[in-house]
Amino acid sequence: PLGPGRSVCGPCVTVEDREGGDLIALAAVEVIQPGDVLLVKGREDGERASWSLIHTRAARLRGVGGIVVLGLVSDVGEIVRQGLPAFAFGVSALPCVEGSGGTVNLPVLWGGEPVSPGDIVIGNEDGVVVVQAAALRDVLAQAQRLAEAQQRSLFQLESGAWPLDATGLRSRFRK
């Protein structure tokens, strides 16, 4: 995350920026709906930013729910001051160029997995995940079960249980 305490959850608008360019990023801002999360697959050369303050300001004014950049951003301090949840793989002092190559709202590969427009992006201080829209109900049910199990384990720890007992792992431990 670019800043503490930031979290985001919402349907994504996908962007693939092949040139570190302003054109495709600003075109993406024009299709977002309030609450959408912009998921920007940036350049992978590790040199030039794919996202900057001008994009963030434009997206904020359109009601974007958050920004996730698989790539580099510039103007980090200014982006953080915009108050939007923003996530990126890194920072670059090299700004975006005009550029023209890329796509908006078409499937992209993100970490080797396909992401389609409308899939759900969830991000917080621990990182970012993308859930296929069709799998959302099942994923939420599993997340709820895991959260409940963690709460039970934490309660047992606070009540004096040994860690392996509180987590139900005692039977798997071999001395």
Distance of alpha carbon 126 from alpha carbon 141, whole angstroms? 20
pLDDT of residue 80: 92
Q: Is the pLDDT of residue 58 over 90?
A: yes
pLDDT of residue 87: 94
Whether this model's pTM surpasses 0.75: yes
**C-beta atoms surrounding 162 within 10 Å:** 10
Distance of alpha carbon 70 from alpha carbon 130, whole angstroms? 12
Q: Is the pLDDT of residue 94 over 80?
A: yes
What's the whole-number mean pLDDT along residues 76-90? 91
CA angle at residue 78 from 28 to 84, to 5 degrees?
55
DSSP structural state of residue 48? B
